[in-house]
Amino acid sequence: MELKPFEKRLYLSSPTMHGDELKFMTEAYETNWMSTVGANINEAEKLICEKIGCRDAVALSSGTAALHLAIRLAGERLYGQPKVGHGVLEGKRVFCSDVTFDATVNPVAYEGGEAVFIDTEEDTWNLDPVALEKAFEIYPEVKLLVMVHLYGTPAKVDEIRQVCDRHGVLIIEDAAESLGATYKGKQTGLFGDYNIISFNGNKIITGSSGGMLLTDNTDDANRVRKWSTQAREDAQWYQHEELGYNYRMSNVIAGVIRGQIPYLDEHIAQKKAIYMRYREGLKDLPVTMNPYDEANSEPNFWLSCILIDRDAMCRQVRSEKDVLYETEPGKSCPTEIFETLLKYNAEGRPVWKPMHMQPIYRMNPFITRSGSGRARSNAYIQENGFNDVGCDLFDRGLCLPSDNKMTPDQQDMIIEIIKRCFS
Ligand SMILES: Cc1ncc(COP(=O)(O)O)c(C=O)c1O
């Protein structure tokens, strides 16, 4: 196969519009509902409730805003309302997924809490319930967990829920990447005590930005609606008894989301076809795809990723921001594939760098199956085997172009490029 650079960049995941989005945005413009109130917001909330099966969905400016307000709901329920100017989690520890985008855990810090990172399991690349149980031996006082479904793959929800119930812990479920994915036939976004989704531009459906808090508790939904509009009290004048935020979704953005929701299942089918095509096309290489529990879950296949077998890794050394590798016949590494894809105008990305390895969170506790763990160097891992799963996934894992507009021919070229990296 002759390889030449793609004329247009192939992305990990870019927005796919269908036409109705523009119609609903135009409607907002023509009716002058250019604000955080309007029919698009009401409809988008209603459509998401119908799709997911929750009683209430609160449309917000981002998934991060939804997580922040979920933290505030959980924090006030557990610890009471803080004095103004103080975080609701001040002095409190919160268990968190470790391999995730930092937006999952930053709201814990916004509210003064300390994230305790829980290592990852290898079956779904999500929070490890065994490490979670271990964490309660070390921090029995913890009352809150924030967990993610990475790349649209449902976590081991039942096992995590059992551990949390045993210890009386509330769960915030970050389903930002997993909209439309199911676990045991139930949509993600229904498993936490508080749940969020995102409509960021890279997500499976998008509003360009936006997020929602999902709940079956209408009182919680009403509190979040109020907080998201500066916590105005019901009075003629601006009256405030609680701290508020400007977190409500715009009616223009909601128009885009309203137009996208009917296409969620189509996008999932396209993403699944991409995943399966990679799995088939790469099956003779020393790599595996990001795994999922085929008996119990159906991911939304948002991003397809590969993990290179340990003995097929060429030498790769990463510093904080730079990386070097040495080519070796028959071997490769995420960096070599990433850089080669880039030469052909295609986007890859290393698996999300674990939170416990991030400079901002490096001093936070990190718990593995064997207890308290710390990030180690690649050299240490090569000599002693990996000591934490997240670090290992980061070392050997790469997200591949997973855009649902990618054609089979283009994907065949990506597969060929990857094959040549191992030749
Ligand atoms: C796992 C995860 N959580 C939270 C977020 C935050 O969502 P948003 O970008 O809508 O704030 C994102 C993505 O952006 C994400 O991938």
User: How far away, in angstroms, is 352 Cα from ligand 1 center?
Assistant: 12
**Pocket of ligand 1, candidates 71, 195, 198, 212: which has the most ligand atoms within 8 Å of its Cβ, to mutate?**
198
With a CB cutoff of 8 Å and minimum separation 6, the contacts of 54 are 48, 189, 190, 195, 214, 215, 216
**For 307, left (φ over 0), alpha (ψ -120 to 50), or beta?**
beta
Domain residue ranges in the chain: 20-262, 264-421
CA distance 184 to 24: 34
The whole-number pLDDT of residue 370 equals 80
CA distance 188 to 296: 12
Closest residue to atom 8 of ligand 1, CA basis: 63
Residue type, 155: A
Lateral strand order in the sheet of 297-298: 186-187, 182-183, 297-298
Instruction: Compute how many other C-beta atoms are within 10 angstroms of the C-beta atom of residue 378.
Output: 17
Instruction: Please give the number of the atom of ligand 1 that sits closest to the Cα of 148.
Output: 1
The whole-number pLDDT of residue 333 equals 98
Instruction: Please give the number of the atom of ligand 1 that sits closest to the Cα of 174.
Output: 3
Instruction: Please give the number of the atom of ligand 1 that sits closest to the Cα of 199.
Output: 10
User: How far away, in angstroms, is 308 Cα from ligand 1 center?
Assistant: 26
CA distance 260 to 265: 10
Residue range 264-421 forms a domain whose CATH class is alpha beta
> Exposure of 219 by Cβ count < 10 A (0-12 exposed, 13-18 middle, 19+ buried)?
exposed
User: How far away, in angstroms, is 379 Cα from ligand 1 center?
Assistant: 32
The whole-number pLDDT of residue 388 equals 86
Closest residue to atom 14 of ligand 1, CA basis: 200
Looking at the structure, give the CATH architecture of the domain made up of residues 20-262.
3-Layer(aba) Sandwich (3.40)
User: How far away, in angstroms, is 381 Cα from ligand 1 center?
Assistant: 30
Closest residue to atom 7 of ligand 1, CA basis: 63
**Pocket of ligand 1, candidates 177, 195, 228: which has the most ligand atoms within 8 Å of its Cβ, to mutate?**
177
The whole-number pLDDT of residue 371 equals 72
Instruction: Please give the number of the atom of ligand 1 that sits closest to the Cα of 104.
Output: 3
Report the mean per-residue pLDDT for the chain. Answer: 96
Q: Who lines ligand 1 at CB under 6 A?
A: 62-64, 100-101, 103-104, 148, 174, 176-177, 198, 200, 211
The whole-number pLDDT of residue 1 equals 83
User: How far away, in angstroms, is 65 Cα from ligand 1 center?
Assistant: 9
User: Where do we find the tokens 């763990």?
Assistant: 373
The answer to pTM > 0.95 is yes
User: Can you give the C-alpha Rg of the chain in angstroms?
Assistant: 22
What are the tens digits of pLDDT across the range 223-236?
999 999 999 999 99
Burial 401-410 (b: 16+ CB within 10 A, else e): bbbbebeeeb
Residues of the chain whose pLDDT is less than 70?
373-387
20-262 and 264-421 share one fold: no
CA distance 77 to 225: 17
With a CB cutoff of 8 Å and minimum separation 6, the contacts of 37 are 251
> Exposure of 244 by Cβ count < 10 A (0-12 exposed, 13-18 middle, 19+ buried)?
middle
